[in-house]
Amino acid sequence: MFPSLDTLILANNNLTTIEESEDSLARLFPNLRSINLHKSGLHCWEDIDKLNSFPKLEEVKLLGIPLLQSYTTEERRKLLIARLPSIVKLNGSIVADGEREDSERFFIRYYMEFPEEEVPFRYHELVTKYGKLEPLAVVDLRPQSSVKVEVHFQDKVEEMSIRLDQTVAELKKHLKTVVQLSTSNMLLFYLDQEAPFGPEEMKYSSRALHSYGIRDGDKIYVEPRMK
């Protein structure tokens, strides 16, 4: 027995499983506060759950173990935090209260679609704590790559799809065949459908179109340059 052992380092070894029962671990290591299992051979979640048997454990190091190789960096940290409710430091980083709650909620959503026989007991404990959560909405935050605008020239109106990654100069080249004007003889004005100030001249040839905030339904006016 090791009644006064505070820190146990088992890093870089071939330990593949924790064979002792939960009761034995609690009896053998009643004051263990920190355990280092970096690059050990642990390969199942049941071994991680057994770490909860140490009554005073608050710091765990678990980098480079076979169990976690197939998970993303985010999944590794959040799933470990959620399974180890008593730890305050994981892999050298403090576990703040907000991170713990985020991790536990992540854990519920991670396992919610698993077959019942594959769902860990910790899942049910956390559902009791937080209730059954709705899946997070998938929000695409990528900028819009193209828009449909109205191009006005004299008495003609044409709806066009334009790329927002192009510059004003490139847009002028695209409009040459539409308005029958050379790029040097072409003035462009952009009208935001919600703007209160009227059209804005698109005077800078190298400016990217996305920087204007152009949206579907906006208008672009083409006028010939006055000589």
pLDDT at 138 over 70: no
Q: Which residue has the higher pLDDT, 136 or 8?
A: 8
Q: Tell me: do 122 and 24 sit in the same domain.
A: yes
pLDDT for 137: 63
Supply the CATH number for residue 213's domain.
3.10.20.90
Q: Are residues 150 and 125 in the same domain?
A: no
Torsion sign, CA atoms 17, 21, 22, 28: negative
Asked whether the whole model's pTM tops 0.75, one would answer no
Check residue 198 and give its pLDDT: 81
Buried b (16+ CB within 10 A) or exposed e, 89-107: ebeeeebeeeebeebbbbb
Per-residue confidence (pLDDT) for residue 139, from 0 to 100: 62
Q: Is residue 161 part of a domain?
A: yes
| pLDDT > 70? residue 204 | yes
State the chain's mean pLDDT as an integer.
Answer: 91
Average pLDDT in the 45-69 region?
96
Taking residue 139's Cβ as centre, other Cβ atoms within 10 Å add up to: 5
**CB 172: neighbour CB atoms within 10 A?**
22
Domain boundary among 130, 161, 191: 130
Query: What pLDDT is attached to residue 140?
Result: 62
One domain, residues 117 and 190: no
Pairing mode, strands 200-201 and 186-191: antiparallel
Query: What tokens were used for 155?
Result: 């008495």
Q: How many CB atoms lie within 10 A of CB 7?
A: 10
Q: Are 124 and 15 in the same domain? A: yes
Q: What is the pLDDT of residue 141?
A: 62
- Going by pLDDT thresholds of 50, 70 and 90, the confidence category of residue 73 is very high
Domain of residue 203, residue span: 146-224
Q: Is residue 157 part of a domain?
A: yes
Kindly state whether residue 141 falls inside one of the protein's structural domains.
no
**Cα 115 from Cα 125, distance rounded (Å):** 17
Say if residue 110 is in the same domain as residue 40. Answer: yes
Q: Which stretches within 44-193 are classed as H helix?
A: 45-50, 73-83, 97-111, 121-130, 168-179
How much is the average pLDDT of 130-149?
78
What is the number of domains present in the chain? Answer: 2
**pLDDT band (50, 70, 90) for residue 89:** very high
Task: Please state the separation of Cα 129 from the chain's center in Å.
Answer: 24
- Stretch 196-203: mean pLDDT: 84
Angle between the 73-83 and 97-111 helix axes, to the nearest 10 degrees?
Answer: 100
Cα(208)–Cα(206) distance, integer angstroms: 6
- In terms of Cα–Cα distance, which of 168, 166, 160, 225 is closest to 202? 168
Query: What CA–CA distance (Å, rounded) separates 13 from 4?
Result: 23
